[in-house]
Structure 1
Amino acid sequence: MSATPVAIRHLHTAADGFEADFQRVLHWSAETDSAIETRVAEIIADVRARGDAAVLAYTARFDGVHAETVAALELGPAELQAAFDAITPAQRGALQAAAARVRAYHERQRDACGLSWQYRDADGTLLGQKVTPLDRVGIYVPGGKAAYPSSVLMNAIPAQVAGVGEIVMVVPTPRGERNALVLAAAHVAGAHRVFTVGGAQAVAALAYGTATIPRVDKITGPGNAYVAAAKRRVFGQVGIDMIAGPSEILVLADGTTPADWVAMDLFSQAEHDELAQSILLCPDAAYIAQVQSAIDRLLPAMPRRDVIRASLEGRGALILTKNMEEACAISNRIAPEHLEVSSRDPHRWEPLLRHAGAIFLGAYTSESLGDYCAGPNHVLPTSGTARFSSPLGVYDFQKRSSLIEVSEAGANFLGPIAAELAYGEGLQAHAQAAEMRLKR
């Protein structure tokens, strides 16, 4: 195992050229390769035209799974139950415990924000909001390099809590290898239908429907560049959650947390892939040196050490700040996916933090707990989009309809206002529709 020190960037906010160096750290191109875009467009068009036949052809070509019908690629409840029964008791217990916490959190979220309401104003006009769940959603669960049962829980449970009528899960099974933990998670989370189909063809099938795979109203869940490009292309035909970029962690540290803990937290995102980003902001130069030493000492024992090294050296940074206030200000500029406040008094700094997908408070709150079992959703905005986006939640599986019931008195009050504005816009039918209801 190599003991070569990790050449992660060290920056200092007081140094000349910091801003240019900082921008280089943040730079990541979200542009999809044009060849991928072209191929995805062809796949979507083919699935839209040939339906099941195209899905079967691409599943055979890309996953090496050959089937006579798409129906043969659907896993029924008995198979999900069998997968649940086949995993170890420890795995069953972990899945059920994580699912219970995720469900409890999203039930509170539903009760807090997912309520219909209405009121009547002085003239008797009723105004309000009606909240209803989506009829059918598709959740994409990655397969291939790794299996993600946690993604099943985080996508299916809030949909279930929201009251979605049907949850259709798609998951690729390269070479026919089915991950029992993923299928057990589908059983625990309440997925209604599961198809062993992946890639752009799965996204297209969900968006447009085939003879076997039903058309959905919204698609959520992460995937590779082909899946992301397909989601971007079908948006408008269906809703999507987000176009996710590489995973990110930002640690704000005051120097009181063991350096090994912070080093491992930086690893926890760096091990996802070479483009993942891990950044430390800290006002203590000696502590930053301790974290660097911990990185160098701990890395050789990590199974994914080559990926971690590439991530840290390519996109990571250890940044010395003037103080914690400046660290918080820089954090707001980054708007990270995961933000750890590794401080003795995290609640002192939390009010200063405006932009983050999820905020983890205190030394004992590792980001990995949020990934699996803390309760809040781990599907989070990346690439600075936390400035205007939110974690996946119950609200993503609901829609809102306005309620309006105008009384006779209300029509007499509102009619002249509407007519005046409508005439100003040159829309006479609008104006006359309002005026016809006025008392003469």
Structure 2
Amino acid sequence: MRRICLTLPTNRPCAPAIADVAREAAYGARAFDVEVHVLVLDSAPPAARHEHRQVIENLAPARDVVVHHLDEAAQRTLLHDMAAAASPAHAERLLGLLLPDDVSYGACTDRAFLLAEMLGCASVHRRDSDSRYQEHAGHTLFPLHHELAFLGVSASEAAEHVTVRRLDPAVADRPIALVGGSFIGAMSVDLDAIRRSDPGTYERVLMLTVPDDYPALWRTTLVADTFRGAKTTAFSADHTTLTRVPPTRVDMCNIALSRAVYTRVPLPPATHTIGSDYFLLNLAHTAVLPGVHHNRHIVNHHTPHRRTDAGFLAYQVRLAKYVLAVPRLHEIHTALRAPEAGLVDHEGRLRTSAVTQAVRRSAADIRPADAHRLDTLDSVYRDLGGRWAKAADLLAARRDQLLAEARTDMADFAFLLDAWPALIKAARTREPVTR
């Protein structure tokens, strides 16, 4: 029986989301005859963890569904064993990258990848704690429906069952590596107030998230789409597209990846950086890995903490770090598109060493343009005033640190890439957890 991992990383109270994910797992096991391992990676405060544990203990038993609820102490034990087996001399550094003290969108998913491999899963299906599923005609729209139907089958076989086909026939024999949808509802970053009140200023900020060498038309289109998901388009009927999935059309709350992807390349472990967990989506696109894009979009909402001053300021730091990361990430994917980069082998599999080389080169130099990008954010935020001016003050106070981390984050990623094959091997030989 195929075994899959449906994971929910969280650092906040999210009992309803856990209950929803458990319902999705039961649906998947029932409809597709798979064994679903629900993996809740819980970094929430103690009171919230206790509430989560109670929700899980009260779940109705479901055939072929196993729930694992791991707090950071349990995760640390497992990861330390893997890191020590993979690289005894560097175990503590690896552990710090996989389980940092600060928020890391990439690291929490890397932990899910390793633990899924430990559990013997064929794929990882990721959800977020600040989202819920759509309902239509009395049914819950579980993305797992399309993920299990397509992931791992050949593109030529998938072509017989999708609504639209937009894939290069040259890769028709390759398996589906990625299945994803997006979200509707609130923007995925805290910029909607600017978009509604000052479109020109909003465009100035969003242009910082678009590579500088993109043509003007592409830049305008990306600004219109960035962080907006599927906007407000509610579900009416299933629509699936066999394609090289555009990273801007899917969201990490609604994504599934084959182990053929994540056992070869992890996500950047950078802390306080939105968008770092989209690296594999871009890499799959660069490598022309077949995928299926669907419209079972998840409903996004902002948690109460995001609306507090502290939550707002924390998010602006994460956005600033992403703005600094964009040129390096773009440079990496541009380099990997070149035939001589050898991103995939003759069987269409990702080559870890090719990615490592490109990432390491991106960390090697200091870039004066980084300071200009922070200057632009500073100018925009001070013109807006109010809480935005406070964000400008915070970014100014951390300026040197942010500029330094733009390089060290990539160096850390290269280090993790070097160790990743050994970490995957260590995960496979680790005794699986049972709860």
Shorter-chain TM-score range: under 0.3
Q: Is the radius of gyration larger for structure 1 or structure 2? A: 1
TM superposition score normalised by structure 1:
0.26
